[in-house]
Amino acid sequence: MTDFDISKVIETEVSKLQNSVKSIDSSLEFVGVCRLIGYGMLVLALFDLIETFVPPNFMNPGWEFQTMGKIVERVAVPLIALVFVFLGKLEKRAKWELRLLPILSYLTLLVALLYILLIPMGVVNTIRLYNNNVNQVNNQYNQQLSQANQLQKRLSEATPTEIENLLKSQGRSLNGQKPEAIKDQIVSGITQAKQQLKTQADTTKSASRLGLFRSSVKWNLGALISAALFFTFWKGTSWARKKA
Q: What is the pLDDT of residue 22?
A: 45
Highest mean pLDDT among 10-19, 23-32, 115-124: 115-124
Distance CA 186, CA 237 (A): 76
pLDDT range class, residue 40, cuts 50, 70, 90: very high
In a domain, 88, yes or no: yes
What average pLDDT does range 137-146 have in this prediction? Answer: 92
96 found inside a domain:
yes
pLDDT value for 25: 47
Residue 172 lies in a domain: no
159 domain residue, yes or no: yes
Among 60-69, 164-173, 177-186, the minimum mean pLDDT is found in: 164-173
Position 21 scores a pLDDT of 40
Mean pLDDT computed over 2-27: 50
Examine residue 130 and state whether it is found in any structural domain, yes or no.
Answer: yes
Q: Nearest 5 degrees, angle CA 72-CA 87-CA 22?
A: 150
Indicate the length of the chain as a whole number: 244
CB atoms within 10 A of CB 74: 13
Q: Please, are residues 159 and 216 in contact by the beta-carbon 8 Å criterion?
A: no
Residue 197, Cβ density class (10 Å: 0-12 exposed, 13-18 middle, ≥19 buried): middle
Among 102, 87, 101, 68, CA closest to 227: 68
Q: Is residue 172 predicted with pLDDT exceeding 70? A: no
**Residue 171, in any domain of the structure:** no
Is residue 170 in some structural domain? no
According to the per-residue pLDDT averaged within each range, which of 30-39, 85-94, 121-130, 175-184 is highest?
121-130
106: domain range?
A: 3-165+177-241
Nearest one of 202, 241, 242 to 107, comparing CA atoms: 241
pLDDT (average), residues 212-232: 97
Q: In 53-94, where does DSSP find H-type helix?
A: 61-73, 76-85
Looking at residue 5, what is its pLDDT? 56
Confidence category of residue 12, pLDDT binned at 50, 70, 90: low
pTM over 0.75, yes/no: yes
Count: domains in the chain: 1
- Is 35 part of a structural domain of the chain? yes
Residues 6+ apart with CB under 8 A from 22: none
